[in-house]
Amino acid sequence: MSGHASLPSKPVDASPIRSPERNHDDSRPGFSRSGFAPIAHRHEDVAPYYENAPQPSRGYDATPDRWDSSVDRKRRRSPSPSYSHQRPRKRSPSPSRPHQSHALPDPASVDSLLTFRQFAEWFRASHPQTARADDEDLRRIRSDVESGLLPESVLIEKHGMAKRYERYRKEYTSRQLFTIYLTHRDESWFKERYSPSAESAALRRRVNRQGRVPAVQSYIDELREGKWDEINFDQSDETRVPRDEPEGLDRALGEDSAWDPLRIEVPPRPGQVFVKTVPPSTSRPDLEGVFAAHPGFQWLALSEPSAKKSFHRVGWAQYEEGVDVEEAVKAIDGSKVDNFTFHMGVNATPIIGRIRVTPPVANTLNRLETDAANARDLARRLEDELLEEATPAPEAEGEAAPEKEAEDSTPGIRERGSDVVADVVARLLARDSLDGDDLDEEQQLRKAKITLDQYLAYLRNGLNTCYYCVVPTAFPEELQRKCVGHVRAQPEEPSAATEEKTRGEENGRANDGDEGARERRDSVAKAEGNGKQRYTYPSKSNDEKWIENLDLRMRALIEDDVDVVEYGGRDIEDETRRLTAPSIKQEEQDKYRCKACSKLFRAPEYVIKHVVSKHPETVKDKLDDFAVFNAFVLDPQHIHPSSTTPAAIDDQLPLSSGVLPAFNPTKATQAMFNQAANQPGFNMAMQQQMMMMMHMQMMMQQGGGAGGGAGPSGGPAGPSSSGSKGQTRDAPLGALPAAPPGGEDPRARKGRLSYRDLDEAAGGGDGGLPY
C-alpha cells in the first residue's frame, strides 16, 4: 500500500480544516469560493438566504440578481435550495443583462474547461460593472509599475481578468478531482487509503508498520556502525545529465539514449512472489488470505493504481526465509477472489529505473536549510504511528492485562530513528569543525548538506520515502517503482553573459523613469493587424514553480492546519453553512427558527450547531463525503485529472463529457454522441434522438442564427461541416462508424474471462477515466 496509505493515520472528520492566513477572496466579496466569479450552487460566497429574512434597502433599482457583492464574505447570502422562487435583490455590482436568446453558459454548469476568451466573454456579459472595475484596477497597477511607484515583481501575480481565470481554473480542477472521487469512492483500494473508519485506519497502520518498522530498526544499527557517514545526494559525474535535461519535481530522466543517464538496477528480494494483476475491486485482506494459505507468508506490498491499466495494480508477497516460493506459487497460482483469477510467479526480475535530478536551485544554501528542516519534520511525523505504545499495567494484582486491539498486533519501534540521525549529524559536524556559529558561506553550505543528506538517507532507506518526489510508501518495492533514486543537480555557474544581463537589469531598475528602461520592461507586441498593443507580464521561473510545488505538497504531510481549499478540497465550515441554510427560518431580527423542530435561536450560528448535532440526517452524509474527499486531495500521490476528465456539476457526475453547446455545438454533440454510443444499453431509439439533436444544431450553426453568421454564443460561428469539394473541414456527423468486417469478434463468443491480460490490445485502456 502506497501513497496516502503510507502516511500517518490522521483522524478524518467533518471538522473545519482552515488556515488562519487564508484570504477567501480579493477585495470583492460576493464571488465564488475561489474568487473568480459568482457561481450559482455551492460556490456562493454571500450569506445564506434564510426564509423571511428582511431585505435591506440599498438605494439601487431592484435587479433580479442573486449575488450581492456589497455583503461581506463572512456574512454569506445564498438562496435556500428548498425554494423555487428567487427574491429580487438590490445593489448588485454587476446587474445581470436581460435574458438573451444566446446567453453564455455559467462556467460552473459546464463540465469542460473554457478558454480564457470564452470565460472573459461570459464574465463581461454577466458582470459588466465588476469587469470594468477590474480593468481599471489593472490599468492603475500597470501605471504605478511604469512610473516606479510599485516594483515590477507585482506583475508576476495575476490581476484583473487573468486572476479570475486562474481562480476559475483552480475551481475547475477541484471539480475534476471530485469527479475522480465520485468514480472511485466505492472501490476497495480507495476505501483502504482514505476512509476514516476505524477498520481502514487500523489497516493502514498495520501495513505501514509491517514495511517500515524492520527497515527503521536495521537502519538505526547501520547508523551506529558508521555505514552512512559519507552519504551524499549531490549529482556526481556518474549521474551527469546534459543541460537540456527536462526539469521538474516529477520528471525522471528521459528515454533518449543520447542522454545516457545512470540506470539503477534493484535486485529482487529472495522468497518473494510477484502478482501480475490486482483489480481495483479486490481488497487487501482478501488477497492476503490467498497468500496466507501457504505457510510462511509475511506481508503484501501493492503498487499505485494505474490509470493506463484501468486502475489495476501489481503486488509483491513476501515469505519467510527458508520457504520454497516455487512450491508456494504452485499451490496458490490460479486462486480466485470475487471470480477473478490471480496469476503469479516467483519474483526474479529486478526493478530498473533512472535517477531523478532536482533543479539546481535545490543546491542553494537557503533551499538546503529549508529542506533539512522539512525532512526532519517529515521523518518525525512518519515515526509517530510506528512508536510502540507502553502496555498499561493491570489495575489489581492477579488481573490479566487487557487484550490489545487488532491494530496493535504489529510491533512498533521503541526509539526514534530521527533522534539517532540527529546524534550522527552532531558528530559529523563536530568532526569537520562545522558546529560553530562563525562559519563562512562555503562552510554553511557544507553544514546544510551534511544535515539534509542524513535525513534524506533515513527517509529513503528507513522510512521508504522519497523527499523530493514527496512519495511516502510502506515498502521499498513500492518506492522503487515510483523513484529508484533522486539527486540534486549541481548549482549552475554564472557565465559572463549572465552576469552582463544581470548588471543590465539592475541598471534598468535604477532608472525607472528612463524611456529605455520602460522599453526593456514592457514586452509590447502588435496584435493581428489592428494596430493595438498587447501588454505581456513577467512570469515565475521554473525554479520558483518547482519550489512552490514541493513546499505545497510537503505542507500537507508535516502540518496539521492547512487550507484544504488550496489543494482543491472543501472547507467543511463553509459546506456546513451551505447545507444547513435550508433548515433555517428567520422570523425577525435576532430570531432564527429550526424548521425541523421549530426551536428558536438568537443567531443562525446556533441553529447550524443545533442542526448538525440534533438533525444530522440532513448534513451528515454530505459532510462525510467531503471529509473523505479532503483526505484524497491532501494525499501528495493522489490520482491527478487528465485533460479529458470532466468536471463535476453540482457535486454530481456530469451526464456527458466535454459538452459546450454555446461555443461549439457540433463538436460538443459529437463528443456526447461518441460517449453515449460506448455505453451499455445504447439502442436505436437513443441513436435516432441523438442524430436529430445533432442535425438541428448543425442547421442552427450553418444558418448563422441571429446576427448573420454568428455562433450560438454570439461569437464567430464554429467550423462548417460543408465546403468546397475536397475541402470539408469537419466530417459528417450523422453517419455511424461502419461495423468491423467479418461480423462478430470470435473472442466475444468465449464469454467473460476471469483474467484480463493487460498487455493485450484492449487491456490497457487509453489512460482516461472509465465513464
Cα-only R_g, the chain: 30
Please determine, for residue 533, whether its predicted confidence score (pLDDT) is greater than 80. Answer: no
From 19-23, 331-335, 708-712, the region with the lowest mean pLDDT = 708-712
* Helix and strand counts by DSSP (H, E) for the chain: 19, 19
Mean pLDDT across the stretch 718-728?
A: 38
Q: Which residue matches cell numbers 481495483? A: 280
Q: Please check the confidence at residue 87 and state whether its pLDDT lies above 50.
A: no
Higher pLDDT, 13 or 228: 228
Q: What is the mean pLDDT of the chain?
A: 73
Q: What is the pLDDT of residue 603?
A: 93
> Could you tell me the pLDDT band of residue 727, with boundaries at 50, 70 and 90?
very low
Distance (Å, rounded) from C-alpha 425 to C-alpha 421?
6
Residue 468 has pLDDT above 70, yes or no: yes
Percentage, residues of the chain above pLDDT 90: 50
- What grid cell was written down for 363? 543546491
Out of 251-260, 585-594, 674-683, give the one with best mean pLDDT: 585-594
CB atoms within 10 A of CB 745: 10
The pLDDT of residue 301 is above 80: yes
Q: Are 729 and 719 in contact (CB under 8 A)?
A: yes
pLDDT in tens, 556-580: 999 988 999 999 999 999 999 999 9
Instruction: Kindly give, in sequence order, each residue whose CB lies less than 8 Å from that of residue 2, ignoring residues fewer than 6 positions away.
Output: 302, 303, 304, 471, 472, 473, 474, 475, 478, 479, 482, 637
Contacts of residue 659, Cβ cutoff 8 Å, sequence gap at least 6: 110, 111, 112, 668, 669, 671, 672
**Which of residues 657 and 341 earns the better pLDDT score?**
341
pLDDT at residue 16 tops 60: no
Alpha-carbon distance of 704 to 698, in angstroms, equals 10
Candidates 360, 663, 373; CA nearest to 498 is: 360
pLDDT at 303: 94
- What is the CATH superfamily name and number for domain 268-349? RRM (RNA recognition motif) domain (3.30.70.330)
Q: What is the mean pLDDT of residues 366-371?
A: 97
Q: Which residue has the higher pLDDT, 23 or 149?
A: 149
Taking residues 28-37, what's their average pLDDT? Answer: 43
According to DSSP, residue 619 is labeled T
Q: What is the pLDDT of residue 732?
A: 37
More confident residue, 43 or 218: 218
Q: With 60 as the cut, is the pLDDT of residue 411 above it?
A: yes
Lowest mean pLDDT among 23-32, 394-403, 441-450: 23-32
Q: What's the angle, vertex CA 557, arms to CA 556 and CA 562, rounded to 5?
A: 35
User: H/E element holding 533?
Assistant: strand 533-536
How confident is the model at residue 394, as a pLDDT? 53
DSSP state of 114: P
Percent of the chain scoring above 70 in pLDDT: 60
Is 494 a residue whose pLDDT tops 70?
Answer: no
Q: Is 26's pLDDT higher than 90? A: no
Dist CA 119 CA 652 (whole Å): 22
Q: How many Å apart are CA 562 and CA 220, to the nearest integer?
A: 32
> What is the C-alpha to C-alpha distance for residues 199 and 284, in angstroms, rounded to an integer?
12
- pLDDT in the model for residue 654: 86
Task: Return the biggest CA–CA distance within the chain.
Answer: 99
Domain boundaries, the chain: 213-254+356-389+408-487, 268-349, 496-538
pLDDT over 60 at 345, yes or no: yes
Compute the average pLDDT of residues 305-312: 91
What's residue 534's pLDDT? Answer: 58
Neighbouring CB atoms inside 10 A of 87's CB total 12
Reported as a pLDDT band with limits 50, 70 and 90, residue 372 is: very high
Higher pLDDT, 152 or 550: 550
DSSP for 370-407 reads HHHHHHHHHHHHHHGGGBPPPPPPPSSTTPPPPPPPGG
